[in-house]
Amino acid sequence: MIKNTLMKTLSAVALLSIGSPAFAAGDEISWGTTLPRGLDPHVVYDNPMQEFAINLYDTLYRYQNNPPEVVPSLAESYTVTEDGLTWQFKLKDGVTFHDGSPLTADDVVYSFQRLLGIGKGPSGAISSVLKSENIEKIDDLTVQFTLEEPYSPFFSVVPLIAIVNEDLLKANEVDGDFGAGWLSANEAGSGPYMLDATTSEPQSIANLERYDDYFMGWDENPNPIEIVRINNIQENSTRVLALLRDDIQMTDGYIPPDQIDRINESDTARIQKDESMRIMVIRMNNMRPPFDNLNFRKCVSHAFQYDAFIDVILKGVVTRNPGPLPGNLWGVPDDVKGYDYDIEKAKEYCDAARAEGAPLDRELEIHIQSAQDQTTQSAQVLQQGMSEVGVNLKLIGANWANLSTETTDPSTSPDMWVHWVSAYFIDPENWIGQMYDSDFHGTWKASSYYQNDEVDQALRDARLETDHEKRAELYKTAYRQIVADAPDLWIYNSVIMRGMSKKLEGMKFNPVSSGAEVRYMHLAD
Amino acid sequence: MLLFVIRRVIMIVPILLGLLLLTFLMVRFGGGDPAAAMAGDAATPEQIAAIRDQLGLNDPIIVQFWTYLKNALQGDFGVSVYSNRPVGLDIIQRLPATLELTFVALLIASVFGIVFGTLAGVYRNSILDHFVRVTSVAGLAAASFWIAIMLQLIFSMELNILPLRGRLPGDIPAPTAITHFYLIDSLLTGQWNAFWESFRHLILPAVTISLGGLATIARFTRSSVVASMQSEFATYENAVGYPKRRIVFPYVLRNSLVSPVTQIGLLFGAFVSNAVAVEAVFDWPGLGSYLVAAIFAADFNAILAVTLVIGAVYAIVNILVDLAHGFLDPRVAERM
The whole-angstrom separation of Cα B81 and Cα A212 is 35
CA closest to A208 among chain B residues: B170
DSSP characters over B100-157 = HHHHHHHHHHHHHHHHHHHHHHHTTTSHHHHHHHHHHHHHHHS-HHHHHHHHIIIIII
Note the pLDDT of residue B20: 83
Note the pLDDT of residue B314: 81
The whole-angstrom separation of Cα B159 and Cα B203 is 15
Arithmetic mean of pLDDT over chain A: 92
Higher pLDDT, residue B53 or A253? A253
Specify the DSSP class assigned to residue A363. Answer: P
What is the pLDDT confidence band of residue B34, given thresholds at 50, 70 and 90?
confident
Strand segments (E) across A213-268: 227-232
Mark yes or no for CB contact A406/B31 under 8 Å. yes
Give the CA dihedral B11, B14, B16, B17, nearest 10 degrees: 170
Note the pLDDT of residue B122: 82
Query: Over the stretch B281-299, which tens digit does the pLDDT of each residue have?
Result: 999 999 988 888 888 777 8
Residue A143's closest CA among A237, A211, A74, A189? A74
User: Mean pLDDT across the stretch A195-209?
Assistant: 92
Mark yes or no for CB contact B39/A119 under 8 Å. yes
What is the pLDDT confidence band of residue A477, given thresholds at 50, 70 and 90?
very high
β-pairing, A75-80 with A135-139?
A: unpaired
β-pairing, A522-523 with A488-501?
A: unpaired
* Run of H or E residues at B216: helix B192-229
Query: Over the stretch A57-72, which tens digit does the pLDDT of each residue have?
Result: 999 999 988 888 899 9
User: Mean pLDDT across the stretch A468-479?
Assistant: 94
Closest Cβ–Cβ partner in B42, B84, B289 for A424: B42
Question: CB under 8 Å to A158, separation ≥6 — which residues?
Answer: A59, A60, A61, A70, A89
Higher pLDDT, residue B5 or B118? B118
Query: Over the stretch A47-105, which tens digit does the pLDDT of each residue have?
Result: 889 999 999 999 999 998 888 889 999 999 999 998 889 999 999 999 999 999 999 99
Note the pLDDT of residue A2: 63
Mark yes or no for CB contact A125/B38 under 8 Å. no
CA closest to A408 among chain B residues: B45
Note the pLDDT of residue B53: 81
Query: Over the stretch A148-160, which tens digit does the pLDDT of each residue have?
Result: 998 888 988 999 9
- Burial of residue A198, with CB atoms counted within 10 A of its CB: 0-12 exposed, 13-18 middle, 19 or more buried: exposed
Domains annotated on chain B, with CATH: 96-290 (1.10.3720.10)
The whole-angstrom separation of Cα A234 and Cα B208 is 18
- Burial of residue A222, with CB atoms counted within 10 A of its CB: 0-12 exposed, 13-18 middle, 19 or more buried: exposed
Closest Cβ–Cβ partner in A20, A120, A184 for B43: A120
Judged by average pLDDT, the poorest of B63-72, B126-135, B246-255 is B246-255
Mark yes or no for CB contact A238/B152 under 8 Å. yes
Query: Over the stretch B176-188, which tens digit does the pLDDT of each residue have?
Result: 888 889 999 999 9
Q: How many residues does chain A have?
A: 525
What is the pLDDT confidence band of residue B335, given thresholds at 50, 70 and 90?
low
What is the pLDDT confidence band of residue B160, given thresholds at 50, 70 and 90?
very high
Domains annotated on chain A, with CATH: 2-54+183-275+497-523 (3.40.190.10), 61-168 (3.90.76.10), 277-495 (3.10.105.10)
pLDDT at position A25 over 50 = no
Q: Which residues of A160-177 are buried (b: 16+ CB within 10 A; e: fewer)?
A: bbbbbbbebbeebeeeeb
Query: Over the stretch A295-314, which tens digit does the pLDDT of each residue have?
Result: 999 999 999 999 999 999 98
Note the pLDDT of residue A472: 95
Interface-testing mutation among B278, B283, B284, with chain A (most A C-beta atoms within 10 A): B283
How many C-beta atoms lie closer than 10 Å to residue A420's C-beta?
A: 17
CB B152 within 8 A of CB A247: no
Alpha carbon distances (Å) from A521 to A27, A243, A507: 10, 17, 6
Mark yes or no for CB contact B84/A232 under 8 Å. no
Percent of chain B with pLDDT over 90: 23
The whole-angstrom separation of Cα A229 and Cα A245 is 16
pLDDT at position B220 over 60 = yes
Alpha carbon distances (Å) from A426 to A158, B161, B279, B294: 11, 47, 37, 30
- Note every long-range contact of B169-177, with CB atoms under 8 Å and residues 24 or more positions apart, other chains counting: B169/A19, B169/A20, B169/A22, B169/B197, B169/B201, B170/A24, B170/A30, B170/A205, B170/A207, B170/A229, B170/A231, B171/A20, B171/A24, B171/A28, B171/A229, B172/A20, B172/B197, B173/A199, B174/A199
Query: Phi and psi for B119 in degrees, rounded to 5?
Result: -60, -45
Residue B160's closest CA among A130, A19, A497, A118? A19
Question: CB under 8 Å to A422, separation ≥6 — which residues?
Answer: A47, A277, A278
Interface-testing mutation among A235, A240, A430, with chain B (most B C-beta atoms within 10 A): A235
The whole-angstrom separation of Cα B247 and Cα B227 is 13
Mark yes or no for CB contact B171/A234 under 8 Å. no
